[in-house]
């Protein structure tokens, strides 16, 4: 379970969802509340508490659920953003499943959430990180290229070219027969909107 700061954040989120009108007003805008499953939304002190909790969750998952080494969450997990982002979600899902009054959410966590997370961790890391070692990000070179001014200029050119060649509808033009959507007419004269499926009454 998380520490007191993280528990406070969760209790405020619960009040924002189902508290009294006075409690909701006291909390302010719900969009401004920190969400522990999304560490970037948390202020510094809470973020440290979240990282501490996630580190304990990672150790607990490794000890209780991992049998083969390639699914082990490595000790350098904070240096892997893809693990850090997902670990926060996995911890949140496990916490909320433990608060439920039935077992369905916990079963789903065991059947889908945790295995999927461990499989993705293993496939993304491969054999790169192990005990007391952390390998550099293999895709770092491509990431630098993606963020370069040259690559950005190429992408911007493609965007602009697409916008220029995109056909613009003429507001004064009469729609051709091919542009008019088909109309389905029922026996009583009602028509069916082929987009929404709504049955429209016949004109009187």
CA dihedral over 102, 105, 107, 110, signed as positive or negative: negative
Considering only CA atoms, which of 76, 83, 96 is closest in space to residue 1? 96
DSSP, residue by residue, 19-66: S-HHHHHHH--GGGS--TTSGGGS-HHHHHHHHHHHHHHHHHHHHHH-
User: How long, in residues, is the chain?
Assistant: 204
What is the strand order of the sheet 184-185 is part of?
A: 184-185, 191-192, 199-200
Residue 9 vs residues 45, 49, 139, 156, 157: alpha-carbon distances, Å: 12, 11, 35, 41, 45
Rounded Cα distance between 147 and 169, Å, is 35
- pLDDT per residue, tens digit, the chain (204 aa), is 899 999 999 999 999 999 999 998 999 999 999 999 999 999 999 999 999 999 999 999 999 999 988 888 999 999 999 999 999 999 999 999 999 999 999 999 999 999 999 999 888 887 778 777 888 888 889 989 999 999 999 999 888 888 887 666 666 666 555 455 555 556 666 666 665 666 666 655
DSSP, residue by residue, 89-141: HHHHHHHHHHHSSSSHHHHHIIIIIHHHHHHHHHHHHTTS-BTTB-PPPTTHH
pLDDT number for residue 178: 47
**Residue 2: strand, helix, or coil:** coil
Rounded Cα distance between 12 and 30, Å, is 9
Q: What angle do CA 79, 36, 76 make, to 5 degrees?
A: 15
Residue 192, strand partner residues: 184, 199
pLDDT number for residue 162: 84
Strands 184-185 and 199-200: unpaired
Domain boundaries, given as residue ranges, for the chain: 4-130
């Amino acid at each position: 379970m998380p520490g007191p700061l993280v528990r406070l954040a969760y209790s405020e989120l619960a009040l924002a969802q189902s508290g009294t009108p006075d409690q909701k007003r006291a909390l302010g805008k719900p969009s401004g509340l920190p969400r522990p499953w999304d560490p970037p939304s948390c202020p510094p002190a809470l973020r440290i508490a979240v990282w501490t909790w996630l580190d304990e969750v990672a150790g607990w998952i490794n000890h209780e659920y991992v049998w083969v080494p390639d699914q082990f969450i490595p000790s350098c997990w904070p240096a892997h953003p893809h693990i850090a982002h997902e670990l926060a979600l996995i911890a949140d899902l496990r916490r909320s499943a433990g608060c439920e009054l039935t077992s369905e959410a916990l079963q789903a966590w065991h059947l889908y959430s945790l295995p999927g997370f461990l499989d993705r961790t293993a496939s993304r890391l491969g054999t790169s990180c192990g005990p007391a070692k952390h390998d550099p990000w293999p895709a770092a070179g491509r990431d630098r290229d993606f963020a370069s001014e040259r690559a950005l200029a190429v992408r911007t050119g493609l965007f602009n070219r697409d916008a220029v060649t995109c056909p613009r509808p003429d507001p004064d033009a009469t729609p051709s027969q091919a542009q008019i959507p088909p109309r389905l007419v029922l026996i009583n004269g009602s028509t069916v909107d082929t987009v929404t499926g709504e049955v429209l009454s016949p004109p009187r």
